[in-house]
Amino acid sequence: MDLRGFVRRLQSLNEIKIIEGADWDLEIGAITELVSERNGPALLFDNIKNYPSGYRIATNLLATPKRMAAAFGFPSELPAVEVARRMKDRFTELKPVTPVYVQTGPVLENVYGEGKIDLLRFPAPRWHEADGGRYLGTGDMVIMREPGGGWVNVATYRVQLHDSNTLGLFIAPGHQGHIIRQSYWAQGKSCPVAVVFGAHPLVWMPSFLAVPWGVEEYSIAGGLLGQPVRLVTGEYTGLPIPAEAEIVIEGECPPREVESREEGPFGEWTGYYGSGSRKEAVIRVKRVMHRTDPIILGAPPLKPPSTVTSVNVVGAADVWRELELLGIPGIRGVWQMRAGGAHLLRVISIEQKYAGHAKQAAMAAMSGAEGADHGGFVIVVDDDIDPSNQEEVLWAMSTRCDPATSMEVITGCWSSPLDTTIAPDRKAKGDFTNSRAIILACRPYHWRKEFPKVNRASDELRALTMAKWQHLFSPETFHQGN
């Protein structure tokens, strides 16, 4: 249950390609982007320019629903919304599994203390042309503990490589890591921190899910895996570290007034350089551990609809789970359009059961921990619409939504510094709130039975026609343009 084991799984499915000789400076990022745009395979970069063989970077590992299904052990040919449905069921039924502590593990195969630390030994890419530097931490896990030996939080934040023993750490306000770090700084203390730069996808995944405060991500990961995550105790920080991790650093994050450096800009998941650059906190690295022939998990944000992690599938599953926990009936499907990045364009398919049901579903989708974070648009469609099919959703919006009565804007919602719609003067004041739009693209409930019928052949007629005239619908026929 480690990253290299998942890579082998993708190799067995013919879902990964090995790339040799690429340059860490922009080339790896550009290849990743171009392959993602084409829904291509996962990538494993080796023999990276100026680095020895064996220092590898994996990207696009979860970029398609098929590879997301592989991580969860689902059948590989499931439709996209069915992958989200099964993930939702896994999240809903999940029973946390307490991690176990072990004395040693593969992550301790190579250990370096102060005086021997050189982070430049790892091929951290410069992912996008306007990035302010190299980013070692994209598919990472940042580990912190509440002061006084309390709860351990594991989350994904961007980590910039400054020099051989210093990293930058950007955390948007409101996130759990930001709150924990601030609590140390309020006492005039540095915040102990460890960062993982490569782990099995199901160990990594809870770090970017909306896990409630006080719930340990390692226990959620154990529930997803069906077995305990094996942990070793960090010698410098005392923090729990996955024994099968590829690369881990330990260090401390001093208050900004003690030390800060220019961080960013960095191309983010919105498809923009939304947060610019500024003085940000650093991590003073005190210890480095890594496996022999380590693999960096690269998950650089790309301009939508490109993606390296299918966070739209994960987010859809989590919002679906939240809707059911809130008791919203009739949910037939939830999807997040890749064109909207991780959060900005959600679609909910419902079987309408009462007046106001569609609007209730939309409001609820903006209220849970996952749904509330930096959203944009929520579109509600009837249950005859596949929420993952953009053409069907646009058709429903065009023919079932009356702009005067079926759209509503809500203001003062929780957002982040990455929000491109927030004016610079508001960002400067720390006002990271935005508005959300609800679009009800459903048949109006009170006269839905009188709504014009759809002129599509029935499923039964389509099946009979396909069976009788199957030679007309072969791939070869369409390829020839007949």
CATH code of the domain made up of 98-297:
2.30.110.10
Question: Residue 338 and residue 230: Cα distance in Å, rounded?
Answer: 34
**Residue-level pLDDT at 479:** 52
Mean pLDDT across the chain: 92
Query: How many Å from the N-terminal Cα to the C-terminal Cα in the chain?
Result: 49
Q: Which amino acid is at 477?
A: T
Summarize the confidence of residues 310-322 as an average pLDDT: 87
pLDDT digits (tens, 9 = 90+) for 439-454: 999 999 999 999 999 9
What residue segments make up the domains of the chain, in order of their start? 98-297, 311-450
Percent of the chain with pLDDT over 90: 77
Provide CATH code, domain 311-450. Answer: 3.40.1670.10
Is 410 in contact with 438 (CB distance < 8 Å)? Answer: yes
Average pLDDT, stretch 358-387? 89
Q: Which residue has the higher pLDDT, 306 or 382?
A: 382
Q: Are strands 191-196 and 166-170 parallel, antiparallel or unpaired?
A: unpaired
Query: CB count, 10 Å around CB of 382?
Result: 18
Region 96-121: mean pLDDT is 96
pLDDT in tens, 198-240: 999 999 999 988 888 999 999 999 999 999 999 999 999 999 9
Query: Any alpha helices (H) in 134-285, and if so which ranges?
Result: 176-186, 201-204, 217-225
Residue by residue, DSSP assigns 106-153 as: GGGGEEE-TTS--GGGS---B-STT-SSEEEESS-EEEEE-TTT--EE
Residue 476 has pLDDT above 70, yes or no: no
Closest by CA position to 456, among listed 396, 380, 379 = 396
User: How far, in Å, are 54, 125, 465 from residue 290 at the CA level?
Assistant: 12, 18, 59
Q: Helix, strand, coil: what percent of the chain each, to 5?
A: 30, 25, 45
Task: Say what the pTM is.
Answer: 0.85
Average pLDDT over residues 398-410: 95
Q: Which pLDDT band, with edges at 50, 70 and 90, does 480 fall under?
A: very low
